[in-house]
Amino acid sequence: MAASYMSRKRPAEASVRRVRHNGEIRWNGGFIYVSQALAGEPVAALETEDGQWTLSFHAHPLGIIDTRHMKLIRRSAAPTNPLGAAADA
């Protein structure tokens, strides 16, 4: 069911990889660690205009694939205010 969801929601030019039991995906003859929590799930890699590859799980961006060092550069979480107030208030 997840694969059919991914095929409906991802761009046609995206490259889909299934996360292995140890949290890695196969990429260009090697392996890149993504997350063991996503084991068995499909992730989509999409090439950007500048030649980088972004990796996402459904609508959630995971990061950018560093093809030189064969690792995932994770997206940093947006800073949040611990008090819940607006940052510019």
Indicate whether 18 belongs to any domain. yes
Indicate whether 81 belongs to any domain. no
Provide the residue-wise pLDDT of the chain in tens; the chain has 89 residues. 445 544 556 667 789 999 999 999 999 999 999 999 999 999 999 999 988 999 999 989 999 999 999 999 997 755 666 666 555 55
Indicate whether 17 belongs to any domain. yes
CA distance 37 to 22: 9
H or E element, residue 57: strand 53-57
CA distance 69 to 41: 23
pTM comes to 0.72
Indicate whether 48 belongs to any domain. yes
Indicate whether 45 belongs to any domain. yes
Indicate whether 9 belongs to any domain. yes
Q: Give the total number of structural domains in the chain.
A: 1
Indicate whether 86 belongs to any domain. no
Range of the domain at 19: 2-74
Indicate whether 46 belongs to any domain. yes
